[in-house]
Amino acid sequence: MPGWMPLYYDAPIEIVGGKGNRVVDAGGRGYLDFFAGILTNMIGYDVPEVREAVERQLATGVVHTSTMYLLRGQVELAEKIARLSGIENAKVFFTNSGTEANETALLLAAHARRSGEVFALRQSYHGRSFGAIAVTANRAWKNNALSPLTVRFLHGTDRHLPQFRGMSDAAYLDACVADLRHQLATVVAGDVAALIAEPVQGVGGFTMPPAGLLRAYREVLAEEGVLFISDEVQTGWGRTGAAFFGIHADGVTPDMMTFAKGLGNGFAVGGVVARGDLMDGPRAIGLSTFGGNPIAMAAANATLDYVLDHDLQARAAVTGEILLAGLREARPRLPMVGDVRGRGLMLAIELVHPATGAPAPETAARFMEETRRLGLLVGKGGLAGNVVRMAPPLTLTEDEAREGLGIILTALETMGEEAGT
C-alpha cells in the first residue's frame, strides 16, 4: 500500500465489526461512531433490512454488472432519487463513488455548454480525479495542477479573511455576489459551463455559506445559462436535518446533484441526478461500465427506504441540536475552541491556540487520540487540519448523542487542564 495513504491515529484502527451506531476494533475495543467511516455509513451497522436485501440479490446469482443490460434495482433507485431531487424531468446515472459522480457531472456540463470553464467555491472538496481535483480548493488533497478545466474559485466560506472581517451576513453576501459578477465580466459572455458547490463543505470543515448566498449565485448564473451542480455527497439524504438534499434548504433546485457515500450504507455507490436534457446530451457517455452494480443497488434501495420510512432527516435535526446546543453551552469554558458550527448531523469544532486564535492542528490530532481512548471516533478537516468533524449515522439516538457529547467535553476539559487554560 502506498506510503502516502493517510491512516489516522498514532496506532491506526482496524475495524472488524459493527452493530447499531458502534464499531469494534481488532483488539475488541468498542467505539461510538461519530464519523461513520467518513459518512459512508448512514443507518448504522448490521442493519437487517440492508443485509437481507443484499443476501436476496446474492441468492439470484446476478453479481455482475454492465451498462449493456437492464437492471431492475437501478430503475427502482433512479425513480426514487429523481422524485426526491425536485429536478424537472430528472434522470439518474449511477457510479461507484463521489469522485466519479462529480467527474460525470462536469463532463455533462462541459458537453452541454461546450465549455471547460467552471466556478467552484474556495475550500471545496470534490474528489481526486483530474476534473474533480481541478475544482477542489484544498492543498491537503491536491496532488497536481494539471487541469482539463479552467477553474475560478468563488468566496462563500471565507469570512475570516481580512477583507470580510466584521461584516454582517448581508454585507458579506453582497460582496460575494459583486465578486461573482466581476468574475463573470472577465469571461467571454456565455462561456462558463457551471458552478459546482457543496451546500455544507465536508472536507473544508463543515463550513457553510451564509443563508441565501447559493440562491443568489444561482440567480446571477441563471441569467447567463450557467449550470448549477450541487455536490450532495456529504449533505444528501436528510443529513443536514434542514432538507433532504442540502441545497434545498437554500430554496434552490439545481440543474444537477451528485451523491455517493452513505447511500449504499457501506456498499460502493454514487451517481448524478440531472435535468433530462442535460443527461441525454448526445455524446455524454457514462463514465464506466461498473456503476450501479446489483449488490450496491440492493443495499442502496434498502438504505434509502429505511431513511424515508424512519424519517431520519427529522431525527438528525433533533440529535444534531442536542450536540450543537451542548457544545455552544460549553464553549465559554473552553478557550481552545475557536468555533462550533454545523447543521443537522454535520457538526464541527474548530480548535485554536487560545492566546492568538491561530489554527491548532496539533490540538485536533491530540483530541482524536483522547476521544479514541474514551471510546469515540470523530474525524477532522479544514484547510489547516484543525477542525474536528462529527457526522454519526443518522440513526444516532438521543442517548447516544448525549453520551458522545459527554466524551467530547471530557476530552476538551482534560486537554484544557493539561494546557493550563
Q: Which residues bind ligand PMP (CB under 6 A)?
A: 38, 97-99, 102, 125-127, 198, 202-203, 231, 233-234, 260, 270
Nearer to ligand PMP, 297 or 352 (CB): 297
How many Cβ atoms from other residues are within 10 Å of residue 331's Cβ?
A: 15
**Least distance CB 287 / ligand PMP (angstroms):** 12
394: Cβ contacts below 8 Å, ≥ 6 apart:
42, 43, 237, 238, 239, 262, 307, 312, 313, 315, 316, 345
The answer to whether the beta carbons of residues 253 and 236 sit under 8 Å apart is: no
**What gap in Å lies between CA 246 and CA 84, rounded to an integer?**
12
Nearer to ligand PMP, 87 or 229 (CB): 229
**Least distance CB 223 / ligand PMP (angstroms):** 27
**Least distance CB 66 / ligand PMP (angstroms):** 21
Amino acid at 124: S
**What gap in Å lies between CA 84 and CA 61, rounded to an integer?**
31
Nearer to ligand PMP, 106 or 396 (CB): 106
**Least distance CB 261 / ligand PMP (angstroms):** 6
**Least distance CB 243 / ligand PMP (angstroms):** 16
**Least distance CB 137 / ligand PMP (angstroms):** 12
Maximum Cα interatomic distance, the chain, rounded to a whole number of Å: 65
Nearer to ligand PMP, 177 or 249 (CB): 249
**What gap in Å lies between CA 392 and CA 38, rounded to an integer?**
9
**What gap in Å lies between CA 314 and CA 195, rounded to an integer?**
29
**Least distance CB 391 / ligand PMP (angstroms):** 10
Nearer to ligand PMP, 74 or 97 (CB): 97
- The three cell numbers of residue 294 are 446489483
Nearer to ligand PMP, 233 or 334 (CB): 233
Nearer to ligand PMP, 184 or 200 (CB): 200
**Residue 17 Cα to chain centre, angstroms:** 24
**What gap in Å lies between CA 408 and CA 327, rounded to an integer?**
9
- The three cell numbers of residue 391 are 457526522
Nearer to ligand PMP, 127 or 354 (CB): 127
Distances (CA, A) of 393 to 44, 238, 340: 6, 11, 20
**Least distance CB 349 / ligand PMP (angstroms):** 18
Query: What is the b/e burial string over 223-250, where b = at least 16 CB atoms within 10 angstroms of the residue's CB?
Result: eeebbbbbbbbbbbbbbbbbbbbbbbbb
Q: What is the secondary structure of 373-396 as a DSSP string?
A: HTTEE-EEESTTS-EEEE---TT-
Nearer to ligand PMP, 132 or 334 (CB): 132
**Least distance CB 184 / ligand PMP (angstroms):** 24
46: Cβ contacts below 8 Å, ≥ 6 apart:
18, 19, 20
**Least distance CB 84 / ligand PMP (angstroms):** 18
- The three cell numbers of residue 198 are 457543496
Nearer to ligand PMP, 4 or 166 (CB): 4
Residue number, nearest CB to ligand PMP: 98
